[in-house]
Amino acid sequence: MIGGKGMDHPNTPHGWAIRLSQIIKAYHTAHGMEAFPIDVAKIASEFSKQVFPDAPITMIEGQSFKKFEGMLVPHPSGNGEWGIIYNDSITSKGRINFTLAHELGHYLMYRHLNSDGIKCITKDMYKWDSDYGQMEAEANVFASFLLMPLDDFRQQIAGEQISMELMQHLSNRYGVSISAAILKWLDITEKRAMIVVGIDGFIDWAWSSKPLIKSGIYYRARQETKPLPPLSLAARNDTTVDNIAGIEHPKRGFGWVMKKCMR
């Protein structure tokens, strides 16, 4: 793997993701490997060893937690080494992959400021607009751009009908959860769109594309308890409906329901 020692280090999550993507691309090409998905654990240990030999990531392992999604921890002996621990009670490979990338983001951008390590709470990581602050948001941006580089992502969706099938394809290609693929798409789309995730018939969290936020439609996390829109796929719980293609709603019909719920 190419090290890049002596080069100036990026200081933004995008910058770091682009730097690593270039190295990974060169490595995959040189070894005749498929471009995706990215093996985050391997990247984390090899890149850190070569570029930060005084602070390599020498341990990546799963542990069972209740509350934490993952953590970045210093070696208890104080020898400068770092470890990434993910929650292995989570069974989704895509979610674990995203967590590893998120923790790698913390390592690259924040380990100097957090010598005791960083613990990431599940709730905060998946609420994209988390109060946990800039640090969590930046680690998520880094993970998203590392696992799903923008140029390739745009190529994959160009001219395609937006559907759950397309999101499933992106999820498989990049080794991420479907939610992570949808959030990435929402981040770059010109369409007015929203993801709404429900638990037991109520909205757990939601995220709008920028054009939709401009229209004043968004969900304020934690400030309101709202039932899922009754016409939505999740609320209908209708097994005769194809969950992959989705449901076409009449104009105004669904939109009206969403607006009433969200405002």
Cβ neighbours of residue 255 under 8 Å, at least 6 residues apart? Answer: 249
Q: Are 232 and 256 in contact (CB under 8 A)?
A: no
Q: Are 228 and 201 in contact (CB under 8 A)?
A: yes
Question: Could you give the CA distance from residue 108 to residue 44 in angstroms, rounded to a whole number?
Answer: 10
Which residue's CB is nearer to Zn ion, number 120 or number 196?
120
Q: Among 17, 245, 244, 48, which Cα is nearest to 146's?
A: 17
Q: DSSP characters for 129-142?
A: T-TT-HHHHHHHHH
Q: Are 218 and 212 in contact (CB under 8 A)?
A: yes
Which residue's CB is nearer to Zn ion, number 101 or number 196?
101
Question: Is residue 139 near Zn ion by the rule CB under 5 A?
Answer: yes
Least CB distance to Zn ion at residue 84 (A)? 11
Least CB distance to Zn ion at residue 114 (A)? 10
Cβ neighbours of residue 182 under 8 Å, at least 6 residues apart? Answer: 167, 195
Which residue's CB is nearer to Zn ion, number 46 or number 136?
136
Least CB distance to Zn ion at residue 150 (A)? 22
Q: Among 127, 82, 79, 87, which Cα is nearest to 104's?
A: 82
Question: Could you give the CA distance from residue 146 to residue 22 in angstroms, rounded to a whole number?
Answer: 10
Q: Which two tokens stand for residue 188?
A: 């770059």
Least CB distance to Zn ion at residue 132 (A)? 7
Least CB distance to Zn ion at residue 128 (A)? 12
Least CB distance to Zn ion at residue 106 (A)? 6
Which residue's CB is nearer to Zn ion, number 51 or number 139?
139
Among the listed ranges 58-66, 113-121, 201-209, 243-251, the one in contact with Zn ion (CB under 5 A) is 113-121
Q: Terminus-to-terminus CA distance in the chain, angstroms?
A: 50
Which residue's CB is nearer to Zn ion, number 124 or number 212?
124
Least CB distance to Zn ion at residue 127 (A)? 12
Question: Is residue 120 near Zn ion by the rule CB under 5 A?
Answer: yes
Which residue's CB is nearer to Zn ion, number 84 or number 157?
84
Among the listed ranges 12-20, 46-54, 136-144, 156-164, the one in contact with Zn ion (CB under 5 A) is 136-144
Query: Of all residues in this chain, which one has the CB nearest to Zn ion in the complex?
Result: 120
Which residue's CB is nearer to Zn ion, number 129 or number 165?
129
Residue 20 backbone dihedrals phi, psi, to 5 degrees = -70, -35
Task: Summarize as ranges the residues that interact with Zn ion (CB under 5 A).
Answer: 120, 136, 139
